[in-house]
Structure 1
Amino acid sequence: MFNLNKFAKVIVGLLLLLPMIFLASGNSLVGAFFTGVLQNWIFLLGYSAVAIAILLFLNRLLAGPKATISPLTARFIGIATLWAVFIVILTVVLTNIFPSGTSADGPLNSAAAKLLTGPLRWPMILSLCLFTPITEELAFRGVIQQFISGLVGFWPATVLTALLFTVLHWQLLIPSICLFTFAMGISIMNHYSHTLATSIIAHIIYNTIVTVLVFVQL
């Protein structure tokens, strides 16, 4: 029998998807609205603080009052670190083995990479390596995945969230496939560690390594 309540939830979810994506990644828009260094610092810190507060509230709302969050253990910190390093290495190896899976529109030509050589270098680095991983994990593996899980269950929600995350970060074929694998892995780690902190750590490490690799090639 058709579930009207579930249909209504899907409609609400679709309507809120775009604002949620903007909350997740808006702090990566360093240099998009302002040219001054101080203005961009204010934008980055202010936006991140507001976005994190809203996303934490929404996560708690979706999880419910009985939800428990486990402390992040050294074991899962190690697993998250190894997973991030493994995916970076896998991406580098595969893009060298299958160069046809890449294009000229790569990380070195991205707007973020260009900012790493200018006066907005440090706000951009802090955005890429700290604030954006936090807000994206709270939004994607937190709010969005929890919402979809309530409709279709954990595994379909994990796949759909990973696909959405990959499409929104799409640049090159091979790195995008690796990114999908990364997203699936950190969702599973969150599931077994019972905390979003696991994927946040993995995402921070992944972005930091990629940023360093891009930076040294500029």
Structure 2
Amino acid sequence: MRTSQATVGRASNGAPHAVGAGSATEHEAEHTAAGIEPFDDVSEPAPPNHADAAHGLNGSDGANLANDTQHEPLSPDDPLAPLPFNPYKGNRGLTRAWHAMKNSLAGFRVAIREESAFRQELTLAAILIPCGLLVPVDPVSRVLLLGSVLLVLIVELLNSSVEAAIDRISLERHELSRRAKDLGSAAVMVALGMCVMTWALIVGPLVAHWLEAVL
């Protein structure tokens, strides 16, 4: 019996089909020349394209989805979120300056009435500031003397404000609350040390010279 020249091949999708001997030989030669074994040109299906899927949506649905994405509300923790409305920030110009001055004076009154440390430092400032104005030093040294005293008052006011904010949150003992108050006290101590150092370096030699002249 004569063998048929048709051979059974297999398509890329796995279905058998009959091809001629010459055609099969030519097909194998083409793949061999390209460096690909027969039937190795079967590729995996490409992953779905999300962009095409988006284009395949209905026009109105796609527009609504885009609008929802663009106008998605920001969370309160987002730095780009708008700040809540503050009715106390509506003043402008001289009105704002007037209210700021009244609030500052109210802060001084509260600090004098409620903070014993501020009262002590204010008493010290009432003694040192006139001395700094009368001592015979150059203008730069005078500014340093007066500025070191005022710096102590500034830091004490900031420390008192931090303590008031912590007490407003909670009066219970907490490690973070204690740490914040200790850091404020450390800042006051540094300011006091700077004041003592400034007066000792500038006024100290003058006092020593006066004592030598008297004795």
**TM-score interval for Structure 1 and Structure 2 normalised by the shorter chain:** under 0.3
Q: Which has the higher contact order (CA 8 A, sep 6+)?
A: 1
TM-score (norm 2): 0.28
Task: Look at both structures and tell me which one has the larger radius of gyration over its CA atoms.
Answer: 2
Q: Give the structure with the higher percent strand.
A: 2
TM-score, normalised with respect to structure 1? 0.28
